[in-house]
Each structure stands twice: as C-alpha cells, then as structure tokens.
Amino acid sequence: MNGVASLLKSLGPGRLAAMGAVALGLVGFFAYIILRFNEVAQVPLYTGLTMEDTAAITQELDGQNVQYTLKDNGAIILVPDADVLKLRMQLAEQGLPAGGGVGYEIFDKTDALGTTSFVQSVNALRALEGELARTIRTIRRVDQARVHLVLPEKQLFRKDAQKPTASIVLKTRGELDPGQIRAIQHLVASAVPGLEPSRISVVDETGRLLAQGSGEDDTAYMASTVDERASSVQRQVEERVRDIVESVVGAGRVRVRVAAELDLNRVTQTQDTFDPNGQVVRSTQTREDKSASQDNQPNDQVTAGNQVPNANANQNGQAAGAQSNQNAAATEETVNYEISKTTRTQVTEIGGIKRLSVAVLVDGRYATDAAGTQTYTPRPQPELDQISALVRTAMGFDQNRGDQLQVVNLQFADGPAVPTDAAATGLFDFTKDDLVRFAEMGVMLVLTLLVLLFAVRPLIRRIVAPDPSAEESAQAAAQAVIAGTPGSTTIIVGPNGQQIPVQIGADGKPLPVLIDGTTEQPQGGGVPTRLEEARAAGAAQMDQLRRVGDLVSENPNEAAILIRTWLSEAA
C-alpha cells in the first residue's frame, strides 16, 4: 500500500485527472460500441396504424413481455426480427390490427337477444362499411379509407325505388391513376346490391374530387375514359412491336412510338334480312265449288191459241215455254310460306380504333475488333422489309382503315455497351443488409481511430511526460551527492572492497587516500604527486557511484524521471 500511495503521490493531481478522464472516455466509448453491435435488430411489425390499433397492439405486446419501439407518432411498431412472424400470427388471431374501423366482428360482441332490428340494421351497415374500407386499404398507394353507404329502405307499392349511393374518402401516398379509381368504384358497387359504379363519389384527403357520383349513363362514362383508352391502346401496340423487334435487333436497339386515333361515336345499327330461297310451306288450304241449275222459260207469245182456256193442257204435255240447264265448277287453293328473316342489331361503343400510326427506329449493327473499337454498319434493306412485315402483323395493320407505318434505320447516339465478363457469384456477393452492416463497422472504426488519435494520445503523452518540479528536485539531490559538502566526511570503497572514510576538501572534492588507508592532508601548500591525484580521483569516483546507487535504490521514480530526461536531451 505504501508503494501504491507513493506512486500516486509521485504522479501528481494533473496526471491522475488525465488518467481518470482517459479511462472514463475509453470505458464509455467501448461500452457504446459493444451495446451497438450487440443490440437486437428490429423490423416493422405494422406500418400506417391508427391510434386505436397502436394502443391495442402495444397492450398485447406488453402482456407478452416483448420489447418494441414506436416510431412516426405510433404509426410504426418495431419488434425483434426473430419474433415478427410469430407476433403477426398471434395478433391476427386476436383480430388485430382492426384497421381503424369495425367489421363483421361487431356481431361477435353483441347480444342478439337484447338488440332491436334497427340496431341490427345499423350494425350490418357499419360492418359492411368497415369491411369495404379494409379492402380498399389493401390497394397500393392507399393509406386510409372511409366508406359511407346510403341504402334506401325497401317500400311496398312503390314503382320508382330510390337507388343506393356511396361516397369514399381516401388518404393516399402519391396520386391514383384513373384505372385505380374506377377499380375502387366497381369494387364497392359489386359488394352492395343495386349500387351502380356511376353513383359512387371518391374524394381524397385534400378535398379533391376524384370521381363524380352523379349517376351518369354509360355513354358519358365511356367518354370520360377516352384518353385512358387511347393511352392503353398505344402502350399495348408499343409493347407488342418492341418485343418482336428487339428479338431481332437486340434489347435497347429499337425505339417505337404509336399514335392511336379513336372513334368517339357510339353507333347503333339494326338490319332485317329476308331470304327468298329459304322459304318453307307453312300451311295449304284447298276449296272446290260445284253448281247445277235448270231454268224453264214460259211461252209468253201472244197467239190465238194461248187465249183459249186450258190452252196449255191441250198441248199434250208439251212445254209451254223453252227450258235451260247450267252446270258450274270452281277450285281454289291457298298455300302459306315461311320466309327466313334475320334481324341484326350492332352497337359500336366509344373507343374503337379509327387509325394507327406507328414509327419504328432501329439501330444498325456494330462490330468490335480486338482493341475494343466498335464499327457501325447500317442494316440492309431486305432486313428492314422483313422487320416492316413483322411490325404490320404485330400492330394489326389495316390499309382500308388508313394505318401508317414507318421503319427507319439510323445510328443511335449511344452505342451498345462493350460486353464484359460478368463476375461469378461467390464469397464476396453481399446483400444490402451486409453492406449496411459493413458501413456501420467502418464508421465505428473511423470514430475509434479519431478518439485514439485526438483524445487518448494527447492524454497519454501528458501522463508519461516528466514532472518539471520532480525533475529539478532529483537533479539537485544528485548534485548534492556528487559534489558533497566541504569539511564533511564520506565513505569510499577501497581496492579490496573495504569502506574508507574520506574528508571533503575545501574545493568540494575528496582528499587523496594514502596506501595505509589514511587521508593525506596537504601540507605547506605543496602540490601532490600524479599518483596521489589519480588515486584520490578514483576513490572519489567510486564513492560517487556508491552514493548514486544508494540514491537510485531509495528514490527509483525520481531516478527514472532523471534518466528519461537525459535520454530525451541526448536525442
């Protein structure tokens, strides 16, 4: 303990403070690094949650003692990566997240015996709205959705029933295209009986009207989508042409542009066609009439015999006048035929292709020599004619419709990339997570080097630097030992190792030692011989070495500081 205390005392308060600061800094820095690299990786459990769902999910996580982190004002919950799938299944069993709305699970929490039919109807409407909102939120770019349905009550003895309507409010990430908006309308209309897509209005979170639910007819509905229909036709034709041409000239070596002109007229045509050669007897009716008649004509001539009474009887049965007979026969036949009739009603809707104009630009051929230089060569005309024939077939070219096609061969401004040998997948094929991890380790390494160079190194240099006050005291002690005090007695080691007391002269040096071991005192101011002077100098040096050794043994720290100072001065 005395050695430790003396060591701490010798270091001084400045060095002790520097050593403590270095120790605390290193402990804190390396503790941060250890905690940073040993922390559990967390991934999102759910995103875009409402406050109600967040509260319910965090309550379940607290009950299971699962560590979690909330971000984005509770909209994102982070959990350990190893537990995310298990937690999702457990929360799905509990019906979480509920999506901020009430679905059909509302009937699991109510008592059917204690509720009226009105409450049941309201709950059914709420459940339907909640389920539709959940389904709409599954569409890409839709964060939140709210659905309102208006379902009129069915009334008896009413001819014109009111049709149901709906309104939808969306909170989106970005902007929805017209196809997605119409898909939402048809989705809701298919889930509600009697609801038409044209009676569904859609509004975003900024109050902008995305779809007008005014109940417009199909004609107006189709007219509102002409631009989208044209874009769709152009995109389809471009893809077909590009796929077939790229298979010939190579990927990225062709440019295709299509201009589609659509017919905006809605035409309804009805045609009746009769075929006289396709007649069939339906019925036959035959009628035959026969008649016979006899006409006796009296003798109306005025004669004398006719004036005699009973003149006719006197003629012996002869006819009194002329007699005529008439026979008639008539036959009538009626045949009914069925003639084939064809009635055709043709409706041409809005959006039919009226004309197509296609422009195809193909690049030439490139040859690469041994030096890697590429040489351009145009494509021959027969090859361009074959490409034109393929494009006509792919686009559905119709000369009567007025379609146009141009295939041109020009050199592109950017030539094809020089092929290089692709590196085979191996040990150094890192994923994105690996790269992020390596980046973190690199940052930590740079921070560690900066701390060592600019914080630890200056403090350590200050610790190991000599103390000026201690150095001065050690030098003074050494000079005192070496020089000695005039008139004092010191001990020197003789040739045989014996200790001989010697007096210090007036000049601070030991007096010469005689052969018998006594000190020679100068007499009469004479000058000592060379042998005597050498003997006295050797004895003094031996005494000085002994004293220095004793001083080093008693004060090792000061001796080390002194030697270090000498070495640094010599360097």
Last residue of a domain, one of 409, 432, 458: 409
Q: For the residues 550-566, what does the mean pLDDT come to?
A: 80
Counts of helices then strands in the chain (DSSP H, E): 14, 16
Could you tell me which residue, 117 or 385, shows the higher pLDDT?
385
Task: Please write the tens of the pLDDT for every residue from 371-419.
Answer: 778 888 899 999 999 999 999 999 999 999 899 999 999 988 877 766 5
* CA–CA dist 360, 559 (Å, integer): 94
Task: Please write the tens of the pLDDT for every residue from 200-225.
Answer: 899 988 888 888 877 655 554 555 56
Task: Please write the tens of the pLDDT for every residue from 436-454.
Answer: 777 877 877 887 787 777 7
In a domain, 414, yes or no: no
Query: What pTM was computed for the model?
Result: 0.41
374-377 and 254-263 as β-strands: parallel, antiparallel, unpaired? unpaired
**Who's near 512: CB < 8 A, 6+ residues apart?**
519, 520, 528, 532, 533, 535, 536, 539
- Cβ-contact 502, 485 below 8 angstroms: no
Residue 178 confidence (pLDDT): 79
3-class secondary-structure state, position 526: coil
- Cβ-contact 260, 398 below 8 angstroms: no
Residues 358 and 391 in one domain: yes
| Nearest CA among 226, 236, 347, 334 for reference residue 281 | 334
Residues 245 and 392 in one domain: yes
Domain span at residue 553? 541-570
* CA–CA dist 48, 344 (Å, integer): 55
Q: For the residues 97-112, what does the mean pLDDT come to?
A: 67
Q: Label residue 481 by pLDDT band (50, 70, 90).
A: very low
Residue 475 confidence (pLDDT): 52
Residues 215 and 243 in one domain: no
pLDDT at residue 425 is higher than 60:
no
Could you tell me which residue, 244 or 269, shows the higher pLDDT?
244
Residues 138 and 251 in one domain: no
Residue 515 confidence (pLDDT): 45
| Nearest CA among 561, 549, 553 for reference residue 569 | 561
pLDDT at residue 568 is higher than 70:
yes
In a domain, 361, yes or no: yes
Tokens of 154: 């069915």
In a domain, 254, yes or no: yes
In a domain, 93, yes or no: yes
pLDDT at residue 22 is higher than 60:
yes
Could you tell me which residue, 193 or 492, shows the higher pLDDT?
193
Residue 289 confidence (pLDDT): 82
* CA–CA dist 396, 233 (Å, integer): 12
Task: Please write the tens of the pLDDT for every residue from 544-555.
Answer: 778 878 878 888
Q: Which amino acid is at 60?
A: E
Bridge partners, 203 (sequence order): 169, 209
pLDDT at residue 128 is higher than 50:
yes
Residue 405 confidence (pLDDT): 93
Residues 251 and 177 in one domain: no
The domain that holds 396 is classified in CATH as 3.30.300
The domain that holds 100 is classified in CATH as 3.30.300.30
Q: For the residues 486-505, what does the mean pLDDT come to?
A: 55
Residues 166 and 258 in one domain: no
φ/ψ of 526, rounded to 5, equals -70, 165
Residues 59 and 159 in one domain: yes
In a domain, 262, yes or no: yes
Residue 3 confidence (pLDDT): 64
Could you tell me which residue, 450 or 489, shows the higher pLDDT?
450
* CA–CA dist 263, 143 (Å, integer): 38
Q: Label residue 274 by pLDDT band (50, 70, 90).
A: confident
Residue 360 confidence (pLDDT): 94
Tokens of 38: 């040993």
Residue 70 confidence (pLDDT): 85
Residue where the block lists tokens 């692709």:
422
In a domain, 34, yes or no: no
Q: Label residue 319 by pLDDT band (50, 70, 90).
A: very low
Residues 209 and 164 in one domain: yes
**Mean pLDDT for all residues in the chain:** 75
In a domain, 153, yes or no: yes
Residue 113 confidence (pLDDT): 67
Distances (CA, A) of 460 to 9, 15, 31, 466: 18, 9, 20, 12
Task: Please write the tens of the pLDDT for every residue from 221-261.
Answer: 555 567 777 888 888 999 999 999 999 888 888 999 999 88
Tokens of 163: 């049709």
pLDDT at residue 339 is higher than 70:
yes
Residue 241 confidence (pLDDT): 92
Q: Label residue 423 by pLDDT band (50, 70, 90).
A: very low
Residues 98 and 245 in one domain: no
Task: Please write the tens of the pLDDT for every residue from 28-81.
Answer: 777 777 776 666 677 888 877 777 788 888 888 888 888 888 887 778 888 887
Residues 359 and 211 in one domain: no
Work out how many domains the chain is built from and give that number. Answer: 3
| Nearest CA among 235, 259, 256, 231 for reference residue 390 | 256
Last residue of a domain, one of 409, 438, 458: 409
Last residue of a domain, one of 156, 189, 219: 219
**Who's near 391: CB < 8 A, 6+ residues apart?**
241, 244, 245, 358, 360, 397, 405, 407
Residues 130 and 215 in one domain: yes
Residues 251 and 214 in one domain: no
Q: Label residue 525 by pLDDT band (50, 70, 90).
A: very low
Q: For the residues 462-468, what does the mean pLDDT come to?
A: 58
For the ranges 3-12, 517-526, 531-540, the maximum mean pLDDT occurs at 531-540
Residue 331 confidence (pLDDT): 84
Residue 517 confidence (pLDDT): 47
In a domain, 281, yes or no: no
pLDDT at residue 301 is higher than 80:
no
